[in-house]
Amino acid sequence: MPQVKIVARNFMDMVASLPAVKLDMLYDNSFICEAILRSLPPLAKKYVLQLLYIDIPISAKSMEESVLPDGFSKHKVAIDRLIQLRVMTETFDRKKEAMYQLSPKFQFNLQKHIVHGGVLPREPMPSNITVRLPSLEELEAYAVEQWECFLLHLISSSEAGKTTNISSSMMKVFQRGLLSQRDDREPPRLTESGFQFLLMDTNAQLWYIIREYITNAEERGVDSADLIAFLLELSFHVTGKAYNTNTLTDIQRSITKDLSDLGLVKLQQGRKESWFIPTKLATNLSISLADTTSRKQGFIVIETNFRLYAYSTSKLHCEILRLFARVEYQLPNLIVGAITKESLYKAFQNGITAEQIISFLQQNAHPRVAERIPSVPENVTDQIRLWESDLNRVEMMPAHLYDEFPSRDVFEAACDFAREYGGLLWEDSKQMRIIVKADILTEMKEFLRRQKQ
């Protein structure tokens, strides 16, 4: 299976990738229009509100008049984002000057929502029908437990404290690009992207999984636009409140089951009714990644002698630390280990970079050391980078040696040809020898053949 590049992308990147027809269908829902608005960068929000009650195109020049010189890049980012989402359309007048105008459907539904408000398709269930609902703290613990169970299963199903209840077909969707398997006789192994994924922030991991879930919706017979619409609508529900599953379509019920496996919602069954309870992971879906990333309680202390102490009871934390450190022993609430040259070489060979390891240590620094500058000792970070550079000091590359040229003119022409193609690795003008990349071997042979004619 080909590896994928792990990118922390905003939910709105998925919305922007939808075809124009599906985007226009989304904007029939006023709640989605508001979700789009609140996900935008601050400057883009300002432009939407400025144009909300203007029904004629506005020239690009007039919008640029209020932009300071050092803010032009932010202006361009805001305009590009609005056009990508089809919130704004770009046209050109007779003088070929750019003109901007809000999409009529988006503009009308957002106006209506701001003036008259809106009613969700479902309201929270009354407390006399539901059994005891979990507290916000219990709901948060549930979300963390479900997410850690998924990640443990990703590392190794044998390491998971309990078998995951995620279906095998859904696990294949979530693991796509993170695991590889040569054949059915061998267990799946983490890819380079999979190792990098495990060191990412929880919110960035969530965006990756949701992106894969949406991308593969069509294979499961689910329209990606309908899925995105439901996820955006879900972000307007109240964390901790119960919502009747009878108000959902069959497809939406299936989606909530998948989301509960990941900890985005919790499902409960009463005597007669069943309901789902959104967690913070679900209600924050329409907010940008930068806004949802908050400082979490760290647990790692690194000493100048490379000793590592992790104050955690989480089995997941222990398994992640094993990716780049030597874990020596584990107490009920403490993991003790060390960062060694051998443990780091293993991490580097698996595709984890020095900067990813350092970033993980900094983001998860224990409160006692988190306020220090730096939170991870400089000699440790410097040594991690040095060990990585030592490993990358020699690079293997297929190449071909050419010598015994008939004349210096042919030799120099061959050097120029290889240099022009970016394939010249080494030349010895005295003995007329060159080494070129194997990538241009065919072109080089043809060039030398023509020289003989």
Tens digit of each residue's pLDDT (9 = 90 or more) over 360-406: 999 999 999 988 889 999 999 999 999 999 887 767 788 999 998 88
Find the DSSP H helices in 40-191: 42-51, 60-64, 72-84, 104-116, 136-155, 168-175
Look over the chain and give the mean of its residue pLDDT values, rounded to a whole number.
Answer: 85
Mean pLDDT computed over 411-434: 89
pLDDT at 11 over 70: no
Q: Which of 123, 149, 129 is nearest to 269 (CA)?
A: 129
- Provide the whole-model pTM: 0.70
Q: Checking DSSP bridges between strand 300-302 and strand 307-310, what pairing results, if any?
A: antiparallel
pLDDT > 90: percent of the chain: 40
Query: Which of the four pLDDT bands, split at 50, 70 and 90, describes residue 111?
Result: very high
Mean pLDDT computed over 56-74: 88
Q: What is the pLDDT of residue 3?
A: 39
pLDDT digits (tens, 9 = 90+) for 68-101: 888 888 999 999 999 999 999 999 988 889 999 9
Query: Which of 288-297, 309-318, 432-441 is least confident?
Result: 288-297
Query: Which of 62-76, 198-212, 308-322, 369-383 is least confident?
Result: 198-212
Per-residue tokens: 29: 């829902």
User: Which residues 6+ apart lie within 8 Å of 176 measured at CB?
Assistant: 1, 4, 212, 216
Query: Which of the four pLDDT bands, split at 50, 70 and 90, describes residue 289?
Result: very low
Identify whether 126 is preceded by a cis peptide bond (ω within 30 of 0). no
Query: Which of 55-69, 193-207, 281-295 is least confident?
Result: 281-295
Per-residue tokens: 226: 């309908």
Give the separation between CA 261 and CA 267, rounded to whole angstroms: 10
Which comes out higher in pLDDT, residue 165 or 228?
228
Mean pLDDT computed over 141-167: 72
